[in-house]
Structure 1
Amino acid sequence: MNYEEAVAYIEETPKFTKKNSLEHTKECLRRLGSPEKKFKVIHVAGTNGKGSTCAFLTSILREAGYSCGLFTSPHLVKINERFQINEVSIDDDTFLAAFKKVKALSDELVAEGSYHPTYFEMLFLMGMVIFADAGVEYLTLETGLGGRLDATTAVEDPIACVITSISLDHMQYLGNTVEEIAGEKAGIIVPGVPVIYDGNDRAAAEVIRKRAAELNSPAYEVVRQDANVLGNTREGIDFSLNNGYYEKKSGIRHEKTTFHIPFIARYQVMNASLALKTMEVLGDMLTVPVNILQEGIARTRWQGRMETILPGVIVDGAHNEDGICKFVETAAHFQEEYPLTLLFSAVNDKDYVDMIRTICDKIRFRHVVTTQVGGYREVPAEELAQIFKDAGCASTAFSEDIGEAFSMARASKGEDGLLFCVGSLYLVGEIKALINVSD
């Protein structure tokens, strides 16, 4: 079996399997030789921001000189992106070698009358094999969906658990209220292991605090007020933390350490703050000088989240209510200085009508172009354009072809404007693939 056949096999997996229990995943790990015990794990869950927080943590660890792995989902262009070693996606040979090990185990399980691993479970098991074989010291591990029943929670002894922003998403799986969803995310908390969490939603925070107390896990809350934004430009954001840990005494004055993030969205300050708090909490295990923390934050790269891919062209995978609200916050900051163009698409299991109304309620666009993504879940580009018109956008256009739509949007942006490509991670992936081919 070659690489292409391996990828095809994994993509076909959902058609002949079902969700398995955590005990099934743990048994798979045991039969693979417990690869997850060969490195230290920072486990990250949340609705929004968990991938970015993982990226900040990984960048800091790399700057500190540690060998580290990063397991995230979904991928944007190529499935290998889900597995990074020292911030580089694995090559096809490494992917194939791990696949063969997990495929052999899957065949054994089926022959025994047990269950075949799910799509995500296969990728998770492959990741554990990949990182163990590579000899990484630390792994930043992002959950897939939820937390309590997520395959990643089969890792029983992380060194820290991090819970990012929680909001209403995947409600058909996780619950109908923020509290219910927070309960699922808090399922990653392990007895006695510190949990660092986003405390901005008080209802979610209370659920996390209560669960941490039940498990005697030290809990560290981070809120927006913990950071001061000093500047927000097209080049990124400068901020400081209201935390004595990051202050230095100069004579009789206290000077705050300044951090720079290479993203334009203010919500990334919160994700960076969570990463910095995690490093502070792990200070006895990981002694990282402040200048290394600064370098790690400044050099962080993360695909598809307010990512500048060309001059004046930003892609953002915002695809739920909270993500769209945060996109609007960022766009509103820049619309007074630059004319804005929007390229938008969404899939039909999201409330795209409300997403569009939220956007149009706060942002004035020079031009809006819509397109369609997501295969069987796609929403017709013409339908999306009409919703923008009904919401008050005077200048709209649409194309079913993403390449043509992107060209139209770039032309509308002009030399003086900003183009935001928003609404779906599928859209971000397609655009990044176009950039790799054409630029």
Structure 2
Amino acid sequence: MTYQDAVRYIEEIPKFTEKHSLAYIRDFLERLGSPGLDKKVIHVAGTNGKGSVCAYMRAVLLEMGRRTGFFTSPHLIALNERIVIGREQIDNEKFLAVFEQVKATVDGMAADGVSHPSYFEFLFGMAMVAFERADVEYIILETGMGGRLDATNAVERPAVTVITSISLDHTAYLGDTVEQIAAEKAGIIKEGVPVIFDGTDPRAAAVIGERAQALHAPCRKLGKNAFEIREITRKHIAFSRASAYDKDELWTIRGCGTYQMMNVSLALAALETVLPEEYIDYERWKEAVASVVWKGRMEEVRPGIFLDGAHNPGAVEAFADTLEALGEREPVILFSAVSDKEYEKMASILCDRVKASLYIVTEISDGRRVPAGELKEVFTRYTDRPVLVCPEPAAALGTAVSRREGRSLYCIGSLYLIGELRRLITEGTACISEEAARTSEGPSAHRGGTDLC
């Protein structure tokens, strides 16, 4: 079997199985030899910011010489991105070796009449096996969609739990109120295990705090006063973080996403809770935090061209907050969405708060894509600014670059879109220079009154 065979097998899993109970996952892990369960696990749930929080924690742990594994989702381009050991995602050879071990266990389960793990469950099993093989000391686990019933919640005794910002997303599965969603995310809290959480939404904070109290879990709530912007540019943010530990230290992060200040603060608070005192060295921590680039999160991939994985209303609000902090005026917005997201709400926020010079709507290759024509109809309900339909992402990117006329370009709305655009740029198949984009967009792009490229 080859790496490509393994990937094809995993991608086929959703067609013949469904999500299982935590008891099933615990049995699955036991059959695998209980990999990673004796490690120090940092468990992270929330609606937005999970991956960033994990990335900042990983950077600090590695700076302090701690062997670290990181399980994240979704991936942008390759499945390997979900399993990271140290600073590198697992390579194809190791990916295949771990796959074969998990596949053999799953075949044994089938022989016993036990159903096949889901896509996410299979990958979680692979990650835990990979971390066991690498003999890591710390494992950072990012939940998938929820928390209480998430496969990662089968880990019964993490070292610390972290809950990031809560907003409406996956409402068909997690509930249609902030309180209901917060209750699902708070399901990762364990008896007596410290929890660090974003307390800026009082509705979510009340639910999380009540759950922590019921489980005698020491909790640390971070509110809006936990940090303050000192300087913001399109390249970096400098902010102060007031806490009982570092008083009024100045921290610097790459990029311009203002939401990252809370994510850094959560990450540092969690590490202050879990790391021995000898590893709390803020000067080294600052260097680690300043080095982090989290792909697809306000990432400047070319001068003035940004990718941001804002894919629900809460994330789009945070995106708009960032543009307001920057004083951004009339940027170009490239947008796409999947049908199970609240894309009309996202469009209304963009039109109300961003005031782009031009909105370009496109489609992703996933079966849940929203047709670009439908997205145009949605946008035109909320704005009188031009809305251009460009179904192919590569052409949409080229057109956006050619039409931005010195303005910033922000590509948002779907992580699938961000992954596709990153792939195009990385492989060099996207024309994103001004001159190349003009020649690639076709004769209709500049015709007066046209709305289709």
Query: When the two structures are superposed, what TM-score results if normalisation uses the length of structure 2?
Result: 0.92
Cα distance in 2 for residues equivalent to 1:47 and 1:345: 19
Cα distance in 2 for residues equivalent to 1:338 and 1:130: 46
Corresponding residue number in structure 1 for 2:393 = 402
Letter in 1 for 2:401: R
Letter in 1 for 2:423: A
CA separation of 1:16 and 1:285: change in aligned 2, threshold 3 A? farther
3-state SS of 1:245 partner: coil
Corresponding residue number in structure 2 for 1:313 = 305
Tell me whether 1:425 sits opposite 2:415 in the alignment.
Answer: yes
CA separation of 1:412 and 1:35: change in aligned 2, threshold 3 A? same
Is this contact kept in 2: 1:38–1:132, CA < 8 A?
A: no
1:278 aligns with one of 256, 270, 274 = 270
Is this contact kept in 2: 1:385–1:397, CA < 8 A?
A: yes
How far off is 1:339 after superposition? 4.3
| Fraction of identical pairs, as percent | 46
Post-superposition CA distance 1:148-180 (Å, at most 9, x none)? 111101112211100001111111111122111
- Where do 5+ consecutive residues of structure 1 fail to align? 248-255
Letter in 2 for 1:341: V
1:332 aligns with one of 305, 321, 324 = 324
Counterparts of 1:8-407 in structure 2, within 5 Å, are 8-247=8-247, 256-284=248-276, 287-334=279-326, 336-407=327-398
How far off is 1:93 after superposition? 0.8
Cα distance in 2 for residues equivalent to 1:3 and 1:421: 31
Cα distance in 2 for residues equivalent to 1:112 and 1:150: 24
Post-superposition CA distance 1:241-276 (Å, at most 9, x none)? 1224113xxxxxxxx210001021111100001011
Letter in 2 for 1:272: V
Is this contact kept in 1: 2:358–2:387, CA < 8 A?
A: yes
Is this contact kept in 1: 2:360–2:389, CA < 8 A?
A: yes
How far off is 1:320 after superposition? 0.8
Post-superposition CA distance 1:379-416 (Å, at most 9, x none)? 121222333233224323221111010001111223x3
Once the two structures are overlaid, the 10-residue window that deviates more, 219-228 or 419-428, is 219-228
Cα distance in 2 for residues equivalent to 1:203 and 1:382: 37
How far off is 1:357 after superposition? 1.3
CA separation of 1:369 and 1:147: change in aligned 2, threshold 3 A? same
- Where do 5+ consecutive residues of structure 2 fail to align? 430-453
Corresponding residue number in structure 2 for 1:437 = 427
Cα distance in 2 for residues equivalent to 1:424 and 1:196: 28
Is this contact kept in 1: 2:46–2:185, CA < 8 A?
A: yes
CA separation of 1:137 and 1:283: change in aligned 2, threshold 3 A? closer
Cα distance in 1 for residues equivalent to 2:53 and 2:339: 28
Cα distance in 2 for residues equivalent to 1:88 and 1:242: 32
Letter in 2 for 1:386: E
Corresponding residue number in structure 1 for 2:432 = none
Cα distance in 2 for residues equivalent to 1:354 and 1:39: 41
Is this contact kept in 1: 2:170–2:341, CA < 8 A?
A: no
How far off is 1:191 after superposition? 1.2
Cα distance in 2 for residues equivalent to 1:394 and 1:208: 41
Is this contact kept in 1: 2:242–2:249, CA < 8 A?
A: no
The two structures, once aligned, show a CA RMSD in angstroms of: 1.5
3-state SS of 1:240 partner: strand
Is this contact kept in 1: 2:56–2:264, CA < 8 A?
A: yes
3-state SS of 1:348 partner: coil
How far off is 1:296 after superposition? 1.6
How far off is 1:373 after superposition? 1.1
Once the two structures are overlaid, the 10-residue window that deviates more, 122-131 or 393-402, is 393-402
Cα distance in 2 for residues equivalent to 1:74 and 1:16: 20
Cα distance in 2 for residues equivalent to 1:215 and 1:233: 42
Is this contact kept in 1: 2:84–2:90, CA < 8 A?
A: yes
Is this contact kept in 1: 2:347–2:378, CA < 8 A?
A: yes
Letter in 2 for 1:353: E
Corresponding residue number in structure 2 for 1:250 = none
3-state SS of 1:133 partner: helix
Post-superposition CA distance 1:84-118 (Å, at most 9, x none)? 11121111111111111111111111111111111
Letter in 2 for 1:278: A
Cα distance in 2 for residues equivalent to 1:401 and 1:226: 43
Cα distance in 2 for residues equivalent to 1:146 and 1:285: 32
Query: Number of residue pairs matched?
Result: 429
3-state SS of 2:196 partner: strand
Corresponding residue number in structure 2 for 1:5 = 5
Is this contact kept in 2: 1:68–1:86, CA < 8 A?
A: yes
3-state SS of 1:157 partner: coil
3-state SS of 1:197 partner: strand
3-state SS of 2:295 partner: coil
